[in-house]
Homo-oligomer: A and B are copies of this chain.
Amino acid sequence: MEKSFKYNRLAKDDAALLLVDHQAGLISLVQDFSPSEFKNNVLAVAACGVYFKLPTILTTSFENGPNGPLVPELKAMFPNAPYIARPGNINAWDNEEFVAAVKKSGRRQLIIAGVVTEVCVAFPALSALEEGYEVFVITDASGTFNEVTRHSAWLRMQAAGVQLLNWFGMACELHRDWRNDIEGLGTLFSNHIPNYRNLMTSYFTRSE
Contacts and interface: CB of A to CB of B under 8 A. Distances in A.
Interface of A: 1-7, 9, 24-25, 27-29, 31, 33-41, 61-62, 65-69, 71-72, 87-91, 94, 108, 116, 118-119, 122-123, 126-127, 129-133, 139-140, 145-146, 148-149, 151-156, 158-161, 163-166, 168-169, 172-173, 175-180, 182, 186, 193-203, 205-207
A123 B173 contact: yes
6 contacts: A5-B160, A25-B198, A28-B28, A36-B40, A118-B169, A152-B164
B168 A145 contact: yes
Main secondary structure of the interface of A (DSSP, over half): helix
Given A90-B177, A90-B178, A119-B168, 6 more contacts: A1-B108, A34-B36, A91-B172, A153-B165, A154-B155, A158-B158
State how many copies of this chain the complex holds: 8
A8 B145 CA distance: 24
Contact of A37 (B34, B91, B176, B198): B34
A206 to B, nearest CB: 4
A176 B68 CA distance: 19
